[in-house]
C-alpha cells in the first residue's frame, strides 16, 4: 500500500559500506528529518516482549552479563541460516515499520523539515520502501566498501559477502533510484553531490 506524501520521503539505497548513513547525515545538515531503521532496531532490543520472543528462539546465549541483548551474539545466531534470519525479521521488521511510520508522520507535520530521509539497509527487501517516494543510490567501489566495513564493523570479506548476499543485488537497487551519489571520490565531492541532489529533489531542477 502506497502512502500519500506532503513532502519528499527519500529512501537511501546502496551496498553495505557504500556510505548511506554518511549521505543521511549530510542531508540532515540541510534540515532533513532522518528515520534510521538500525537505531530503531537497537532501541527495540530493550523491549521486554522483543527480548522474550528472541529468547524463545535462541535462548539465554544472546544476553550479556548485564542482561542486555548482545547484538554480536544475536547476529551470529540470526544470520547462521535463512530460517534464522527470517525468524529475526519476523520479530523485528513489523515493529520497526510501525516506528518508522510514526516518525515520518511527525516529521511530515513539522513545517521546518523540508524532506525526510529513510536510512534502512533492507529498504527494498521489506515493504519499508513503500514509505518513500524518491530514491538515491549511494555507490562506491567494492574495494572501498570492503575496507570501510573492515574498519567500522570488524568484518572480514567472508562475513561482508555473506551479509550482502542476503540483500537485493546492487544493479536492481541502482535501477530503482532516480538519483545516484558516488561515494568513492572524496568527502567534499560527496557533500557537493548530496547538496545538488537535495536541491533537485526539493526544487525539481
Would residue 139 be called left, alpha or beta, if left means φ above 0 and alpha means ψ between -120 and 50 degrees? beta
Domains of the chain, first to last: 9-203 (3.40.50.300)
Name which of 40, 96, 88, 46 is nearest 70 in CA terms: 46
Banded model confidence at residue 154, pLDDT cuts 50, 70, 90: confident
Given a cut of 80, whether residue 5 has pLDDT beyond it is no
User: In the chain, which ranges are E strands?
Assistant: 9-13, 33-36, 116-119, 134-139, 179-182
Q: What is the mean pLDDT of residues 42-61?
A: 95
Whether the Cβ atoms of residue 142 and residue 153 lie closer than 8 Å to each other = no
**Whole-angstrom distance, CA of residue 42 vs CA of residue 191:** 28
Among 87, 80, 160, 175, smallest CA distance to 121 is for 160
Per residue in 132-143, pLDDT tens? 999 999 999 988
pTM: 0.88
Place of cell 526544487: 203
Cell reading at 96: 520497526
Contact 136, 196 (CB under 8 A): no
Amino acid at each position: 500500500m502506497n502512502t500519500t506524501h506532503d513532502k519528499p520521503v527519500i529512501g537511501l539505497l546502496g551496498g553495505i559500506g557504500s556510505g548511506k548513513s554518511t549521505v543521511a547525515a549530510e542531508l540532515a545538515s540541510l534540515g532533513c528529518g532522518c528515520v534510521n531503521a538500525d537505531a530503531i532496531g537497537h532501541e527495540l532490543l530493550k523491549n521486554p516482549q522483543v527480548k522474550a520472543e528472541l529468547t524463545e528462539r535462541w535462548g539465554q546465549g544472546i544476553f550479556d552479563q548485564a542482561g542486555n541483548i548482545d547484538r554480536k551474539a544475536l547476529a551470529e545466531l540470526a544470520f547462521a541460516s535463512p530460517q534464522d534470519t527470517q525468524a529475526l525479521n519476523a520479530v523485528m521488521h513489523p515493529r520497526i515499520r510501525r516506528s518508522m511510520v510514526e516518525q515520518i508522520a511527525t516529521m511530515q507535520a513539522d513545517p521546518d523539515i523540508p524532506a525526510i530521509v529513510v536510512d534502512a539497509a533492507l529498504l527494498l527487501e521489506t515493504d519499508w520502501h513503500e514509505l518513500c517516494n524518491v530514491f538515491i543510490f549511494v555507490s562506491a567501489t567494492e574495494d572501498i566498501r570492503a575496507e570501510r566495513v573492515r574498519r567500522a564493523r570488524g568484518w572480514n570479506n567472508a562475513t561482508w559477502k555473506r551479509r550482502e548476499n542476503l540483500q537485493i543485488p546492487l544493479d536492481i537497487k541502482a535501477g530503482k533510484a532516480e538519483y545516484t551519489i558516488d561515494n568513492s571520490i572524496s568527502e567534499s565531492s560527496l557533500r557537493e553531490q548530496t547538496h545538488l541532489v537535495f536541491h533537485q529533489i526539493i526544487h525539481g531542477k
